[in-house]
Structure 1
Amino acid sequence: MAEQEKSEIQKLKDTLFYEQKNGAKTYTAAQTKQADAYCEAYKSFLDEAKMEREAVTYAVRTAQTKGFVAFEKGKQYQPGDKVYTVNRGKAAIFAVFGTKPMAEGVRMTAAHIDSPRLDLKQSPLYEDNDIALFKTHYYGGIKKYQWTTIPLALHGVLVKKDGTVLHVRIGEDAGDPLFCVTDLLPHLAKEQMKKPMTAFDAEKLNVIIGSRPFKDDKESDLVKLNILHLLNEKYGVTEADFLSAELAMVPAFKAADIGFDRSMIGSYGHDDRVCAYTSFTALLDTDLPAYTSVCVLADKEEIGSEGSTGLQSAFLAYFIADLAKPYGLDGRDVLTASKCLSADVNAAFDPTYPEVMEKKNASFINHGVVLSKFTGHGGKYDTNDASAEFTAEVIRLLDNNDIIWHMAELGKVDEGGGGTVAKYIGDLNVDVIDVGVPVLSMHAPFELVSKIDVYETYKAFVAFFKADAQA
């Protein structure tokens, strides 16, 4: 009798309680193999695309192999047509035309392809006590001390006086030199170690780039001269060319499997290239959607989505207006009928630092794609807060496609917070919710994600793009 009663209680619990699923406990061997295979290609993308320009180049090249062509304003496209447009080399939009009328809106994902890094100052090169260094200005939210004593690579572009654009990538290939920010030895760091982490001086994030002089004589700045001589021989540039350059130091780490079980990926730039890659490849695998499907890869999210290539600019709204015009529609009407998944990461629960998380509302490694109804900070400031109706619609979509998912917010209330591009999509009168991958050590030079979570996120974007399509 007791066993029967317990069974009935358990049935009731199963019906009424919400319980997160751990994908690592439920995945079959075949599913694990699929996730691992998908993530091998993702790791290659991470190694190739450490800057937004590189991510755009990768995406355009890959899309072209799948039949995407440059978008033409004023042209009416047919269902299944695939187009792309690039904004200043640092942001891009890809679209597959659907069978439903444009008046019914589009289905969008929006991810960002920039990550925290050390940008070079406009006049970066100097010499001090026979050592040549670059001055840097950090980009995005970082813990400054994490960027000392790690191998760094130089990425970006230089524009010569004749207008020639040089793509710089030093420190990634075998045999390339690497670069480094130094730190004090603990034996002499008594005073430094008394300071809080926030007191780390940004002006000390100087990168060592050489120590050999051009030649042995009494002239000054000979190490600096030698560096410039080497750069001039290789690239034909002078010091003045740095003034207009976009150059940055990024971690030289390669993406790698983490753990004896190889269940995770360690890399620079999971935030947010993990969501950029999963949403982009989901669109590539969408041939004839019901709704016109759009994947946005944006720049500048880490500094507030500012500027012409960030999502506070009008480039997305202009693109939708250009899609709508050939059909006699206003872009604002198409946007109003549209829906979007803001493809961005959330902070995974870290058992070493449990005090900043509220477990019932945290995201977890291996628990699949994470939905964040809102981000922001404090009393939900600086955030989009998705409606109950749209949140429920996305949950139904995930459940109907057997996708492992869970819901989370970004840490305890008043503990801190952060933002995504969702609020800028919401400003366009579009239904939007954050959907992405849980990340450990977010914004560190080396972040961790679960392969299962990456794959489930890809599946979620596929389901979103293919919703209501004919089988």
Structure 2
Amino acid sequence: MPAIDAPAYLDDFAAFVQASPSSYHAAAEVARRLEAAGFERLDEADAWPSGPGRRVVVRDGAVIAWVEPAGAAPTAPVRILGAHTDSPSFKLKPSPSTAAAGLLQAGVEIYGGPLLNSWLDRELELAGRLVTRDGAVHLARTGPMLRIPQLAIHLDREQNKALSLDKQRHVQPVWGAGEEGDVLAELAADAGVPAADVVGYDVLLADTAPPQRFGRDGVFFASGRMDNLSSVYAGLVALLAAPSDAGHLSVLAAFDHEELGSESRSGAAGPFLEDVLARIGDGLAATAEDRRRAAADSWLLSSDAGHGVHPNHPERHDPVNRPVLGGGPLLKLNANQRYASDALGSAMWAAACERAGVPTQPFVSNNTVPCGSTIGPISATRLGIRTVDVGVPLLSMHSARELAHVDDLVALGAAVTAFFAG
């Protein structure tokens, strides 16, 4: 396989992150890039074409794209890269414009499980979608406009011992001075629509600091939303390189709402991927028997960021399996099926990494520190497709600004490309 141009990969990944401050922007950016490369954009309400092709469909903040090779049989298996577009953050509440102590504030509620303290004293933006009276959807973002100010040490001398943030009182951002203001009007202005026409919105906060390489020889990469745009981008790059003459279909499925449990129409627990695969099968004239045979020979690679060993907190990790930043993408394992990897999946992933010429390393939790879960077990349960959980190791996961090793980011792209190549 041709090697990935690492500097170009990292520069373009940084541009992708900056274009994706919300799940809605991320799904739109994936579709935009694929369309520019010749993919056909489909609408779920239309009849879909059959036959070979490169296609993409967006549902809210989720996107699914695929390459159907020429001559694909009704029993052709699929190779799916599953990821998610959302990240922990804060979501704008109804009636969000408030004021206190001569400052305008935005009312927000917690989205997922962010590291709250990491969001303090950062220049933030509002980003998401607005829906107007005519039913039209408008993507909008304000650019740097908000900040959650921390209490000065002089007013609470105990903060360095035990910082405790009340989720209602302490995380409402300021965005202007005075007593009168409409935060939604700022978003509407960006979208070019009258504020009075906005009747619905899904809007979140995002850190505006650009991604940055740093450290000796530039080995580190700091950015917001690497959990899980690192996997979405790897899947995008791999799908663009996917062969059109393979014996399988290559699929990128980037879901929304993973940070909330995936239970939505655009989440992995919803019907989106199942719907798309069914319609692809219809186009192949696949029978129920054909679909079962195809599923039995298919693979789903659930790619989501994982934990590298933290040098200041080594006791939080397994004492033997200790994945490090720069050691390669993770193979994520869990005896209680919080991850879907098993022995067959481990072998498949090892083969993909070997073909790509990149290392991999196992991740398993310390028994006293239960791990989270991913879309892997959910998708495996819904589809019955063999599934393996992988991802890049991070430090500061769920921070407003996470930390990765540049080699791991590039290696994930190479391994997913090998996975699609078959």
TM-score, normalised via structure 1 length: 0.81
- Rounded Cα–Cα distance in structure 1 between residues aligned with 2:186 and 2:62: 32
Contact map agreement 1:361 1:407 (CA 8 A) in 2: yes
In the other structure, the counterpart of 1:395 is 350
Is the deviation greater in 91-100 or in 156-165? 156-165
1:82 and 2:49 matched? no
How far 1:359 sits from its partner (Å)? Answer: 4.3
In the other structure, the counterpart of 1:205 is 171
- Rounded Cα–Cα distance in structure 2 between residues aligned with 1:49 and 1:191: 37
1:406 and 2:361 matched? yes
In the other structure, the counterpart of 2:269 is 312
- Rounded Cα–Cα distance in structure 1 between residues aligned with 2:413 and 2:130: 35
- Rounded Cα–Cα distance in structure 2 between residues aligned with 1:251 and 1:232: 20
- Rounded Cα–Cα distance in structure 1 between residues aligned with 2:28 and 2:181: 33
Task: Describe the shift of the 1:351–1:97 C-alpha distance in structure 2 as closer, same or farther (beyond 3 A).
Answer: same
In the other structure, the counterpart of 2:278 is 321
Q: How do residues 236-247 of structure 1 correspond to structure 2 at under 5 angstroms?
A: 237-238=194-195, 241=198, 244-247=200-203
Task: Describe the shift of the 1:259–1:195 C-alpha distance in structure 2 as closer, same or farther (beyond 3 A).
Answer: closer
Q: What letter is aligned with 2:373? A: G
Which residue of 135, 154, 161 maps to 1:187? 154
1:365 and 2:331 matched? no
Contact map agreement 1:439 1:448 (CA 8 A) in 2: yes
In the other structure, the counterpart of 1:219 is none
Is the deviation greater in 137-146 or in 33-42? 33-42
Give 3-state SS (helix, strand or coil) of 2:128's partner.
Answer: strand
Task: Describe the shift of the 1:93–1:229 C-alpha distance in structure 2 as closer, same or farther (beyond 3 A).
Answer: closer
In the other structure, the counterpart of 1:351 is 311
In the other structure, the counterpart of 1:248 is 204
Contact map agreement 1:92 1:298 (CA 8 A) in 2: yes
How far 1:224 sits from its partner (Å)? Answer: 1.9
Which residue of 259, 264, 271 maps to 2:220? 264
- Rounded Cα–Cα distance in structure 2 between residues aligned with 1:113 and 1:406: 24
1:434 and 2:392 matched? no
- Rounded Cα–Cα distance in structure 2 between residues aligned with 1:233 and 1:262: 39
TM-superposition CA deviations, 1:236-293 (whole Å, max 9, x none): 544794x621111111110111213111211000000001100111011113222111
How far 1:180 sits from its partner (Å)? Answer: 0.4
Q: Which ranges of structure 1 fall in alignment gaps of 5 or more residues?
A: 1-29, 172-176, 213-222
- Rounded Cα–Cα distance in structure 2 between residues aligned with 1:229 and 1:103: 52
1:70 and 2:41 matched? yes
- Rounded Cα–Cα distance in structure 1 between residues aligned with 2:360 and 2:276: 31
- Rounded Cα–Cα distance in structure 2 between residues aligned with 1:228 and 1:73: 36
1:423 and 2:377 matched? yes
Contact map agreement 1:145 1:200 (CA 8 A) in 2: no
1:462 and 2:420 matched? no
Contact map agreement 2:256 2:262 (CA 8 A) in 1: yes
Give 3-state SS (helix, strand or coil) of 2:216's partner.
Answer: coil
In the other structure, the counterpart of 2:249 is 292
Contact map agreement 2:89 2:111 (CA 8 A) in 1: yes
Identity across matched positions, percent: 24
Contact map agreement 1:210 1:227 (CA 8 A) in 2: no
Task: Describe the shift of the 1:77–1:227 C-alpha distance in structure 2 as closer, same or farther (beyond 3 A).
Answer: closer
Contact map agreement 1:114 1:301 (CA 8 A) in 2: yes
- Rounded Cα–Cα distance in structure 1 between residues aligned with 2:79 and 2:203: 35
How far 1:226 sits from its partner (Å)? Answer: 7.2
TM-superposition CA deviations, 1:327-367 (whole Å, max 9, x none): 23235553343211001111111211111012422321111
Contact map agreement 2:56 2:65 (CA 8 A) in 1: yes
Which residue of 5, 13, 16 maps to 1:45? 16
CA RMSD of aligned residues (A): 2.5
- Rounded Cα–Cα distance in structure 2 between residues aligned with 1:441 and 1:231: 30
- Rounded Cα–Cα distance in structure 2 between residues aligned with 1:161 and 1:401: 50
Give 3-state SS (helix, strand or coil) of 2:92's partner.
Answer: strand
Task: Describe the shift of the 1:58–1:225 C-alpha distance in structure 2 as closer, same or farther (beyond 3 A).
Answer: closer
- Rounded Cα–Cα distance in structure 2 between residues aligned with 1:362 and 1:200: 34
TM-superposition CA deviations, 1:23-68 (whole Å, max 9, x none): xxxxxxx97x932221111111111112111111111111112221
More helix by share: 1
In the other structure, the counterpart of 2:66 is 95
1:108 and 2:80 matched? yes
Contact map agreement 1:321 1:332 (CA 8 A) in 2: no
- Rounded Cα–Cα distance in structure 2 between residues aligned with 1:286 and 1:357: 36
Contact map agreement 1:74 1:325 (CA 8 A) in 2: no
How far 1:398 sits from its partner (Å)? Answer: 2.3
In the other structure, the counterpart of 1:447 is 402
User: How many residues matched?
Assistant: 411
- Rounded Cα–Cα distance in structure 2 between residues aligned with 1:60 and 1:399: 30
Contact map agreement 2:309 2:323 (CA 8 A) in 1: yes
- Rounded Cα–Cα distance in structure 1 between residues aligned with 2:419 and 2:270: 25
Contact map agreement 1:150 1:251 (CA 8 A) in 2: yes
Q: What letter is aligned with 1:184? A: L
TM-superposition CA deviations, 1:68-127 (whole Å, max 9, x none): 11347564313xx21111113x11111111355241421111010111111111121112
How far 1:196 sits from its partner (Å)? Answer: 6.0
